[in-house]
Amino acid sequence: MKGASVLIGGVGGQGVILTARILAEAALALGLGAQMSEIHGMSQRYGSVVSSVRLGKAETPLVKRGEADAIVGFEPLETVRLLPWAYRKTVIVTSITPIRPLSVSLGQEAYPLLEDLHERLKDRAGRVIFIDADRIARSIGSEVVANSVLLGALIGTKALPIPLDSVRKTLVKHVPSKLAAPNLEALDIGYGVAIQDGYSIAFA
């Protein structure tokens, strides 16, 4: 199997590490090699968190700059911060909802314009999917499933050799039973968004 490298970034409390773990375990269940690592940051509320997942035979779970095949961003500015790891064929899936840090809330700094962040992503990557994961999660009735929306979109890009069914089976092992149904619905919706996006690119 050709290897693949993924970076997942966001802030503490968004489920970055859990999402990476589900992705890695889904790959392992298929007999694919997989390594996962938290690159930097801590899982405290609103602190930056980045995890890497490498599929196939890899000597290290860390991803070199310019070599990420896919990037998943749970927060727009955090997605842009991962751009040094992108290259011209990288697929990016990003949430469009900003989480403004304390320094911005206090007026010490300004949050960049979302339009500018989006342009930077499109200029660097091969394909970018902008998805309102938080709105979709609210429509399902559970804001905590936004990470599953983004994970589903990643699988829907076909950038990784992992089928949706394998991710579904792994996901239910990691979430409380009462949240299994909304997480699976979120996963499926995200997957559908990416599939539709790819259809539009191919046939528009």
Instruction: Tell me the pLDDT tens digit for each residue of 120-129.
Output: 999 999 999 9
Helix (H) or strand (E) holding 51: strand 48-55
- Encoded tokens for 138: 């609210």
In angstroms, rounded to a whole number, what is the distance separating the alpha carbons of residues 97 and 148?
A: 15
Q: What is the dotted CATH code of the domain comprising 4-203?
A: 3.40.920.10
In angstroms, rounded to a whole number, what is the distance separating the alpha carbons of residues 42 and 187?
A: 25
Biggest CA pair distance of the chain: 50
Q: Assess contact for 24 and 130: CB atoms under 8 A.
A: no
Q: Assess contact for 201 and 127: CB atoms under 8 A.
A: yes
List per-block mean pLDDT (blocks of 10 residues) for the chain, which spans 204 residues.
Answer: 87 90 95 84 66 88 93 96 96 93 74 94 95 96 95 96 96 96 97 83 42
In angstroms, rounded to a whole number, what is the distance separating the alpha carbons of residues 4 and 12?
A: 25
Q: Is 199 left (phi over 0), alpha (psi -120 to 50) or beta?
A: alpha
Helix (H) or strand (E) holding 103: helix 102-105
> How far, in Å, are 42, 128, 168 from residue 76 at the CA level?
19, 12, 26
Residue 102 is predicted with a pLDDT of: 66
Backbone φ and ψ for 38, nearest 5 degrees, come out as -85, 120
pLDDT tens profile 98-149: 987 766 767 778 889 999 999 999 999 999 999 999 999 999 999 999 999 9
Listed by start position, the domains of the chain span 4-203
> How far, in Å, are 74, 160, 198 from residue 83 at the CA level?
14, 19, 22
Query: Across all residues in the chain, what is the average pLDDT?
Result: 90
Residue given tokens 């394909």 in the structure block:
127
What 3-state class would DSSP assign to 197? helix
Residues whose CB falls within 8 Å of the CB of residue 115, separated by 6 or more in sequence, listed in order: none
- Report which of 8, 131, 25 is spatially closest to residue 69, judged by C-alpha positions: 8
Helix (H) or strand (E) holding 154: helix 146-156
